[in-house]
Structure 1
Amino acid sequence: SQCIVVGDQKPFIGALLTLDAEMLPRWAANNGLRGLSLEDARTNEVVRAEIQRAVDKANEAVSRAESIRKFTVLPGDFTEDNGYLTPSLKLKRNAVMKDYAPDVEALYAGPKE
């Protein structure tokens, strides 16, 4: 659903992604995963493989140095209500980076994917 790229002063580019909660049930049913919850989808191998395919496709448009090498799936979308978007729907990067700092650090704690 949404993506924020991270990696300033880090060894590689990573991304924090969100899933489309409205589209997930239909996608899951079409892929043999009927009843898959949003929370379970975050770590589901089939879902992550589909996300990786999308990341790989996006990476074709950029250099290796600019490519996303790891990602994590966050529990929910960035919205105005949760403080991550402005009224004009621009991302409040500082708020996201502050609240999801542990997720960002976890991207860089393990091996590159």
Structure 2
Amino acid sequence: MIAHVLLKHIEETPRMPIKTCIGMVHSKYGKTISKRKGFLGRRRAFETIFRTWESSFQALPGYMAALQYANPGTVVQWRLLKGKIFEFVFWVFKPSIDGFAHYKNVISIDGTYVYG
């Protein structure tokens, strides 16, 4: 019930504060809910709209395979910690790789304490 009240608002503002969620339920039903119920309702609404983290990571290999199939020459690299904890995925398209050869060399110094 709480998630149903929050669905369209979570879609517009995924990082909605829990206090705002509690206020929305209170304005809709006239009942005050706990922070825990507000948190769980917000999480359920978020997962209804955007799916869970686990399902997103499960879909990622298929997305990367489709990306490589649709864009031949695309480079994809993964890194997992201890073989099962996702750290990052990197991809670059072939036109970007080819265009990199035409960049001009630039030296940039950031900071005021340069010694040597």
Tell me the TM-score range normalised by the shorter chain.
under 0.3
TM-score normalised over the length of structure 2: 0.24
Q: TM-score, structure 1 length as denominator? A: 0.24
The structure in which a higher percent of residues are helix is 2
Q: Which has the higher contact order (CA 8 A, sep 6+)?
A: 1
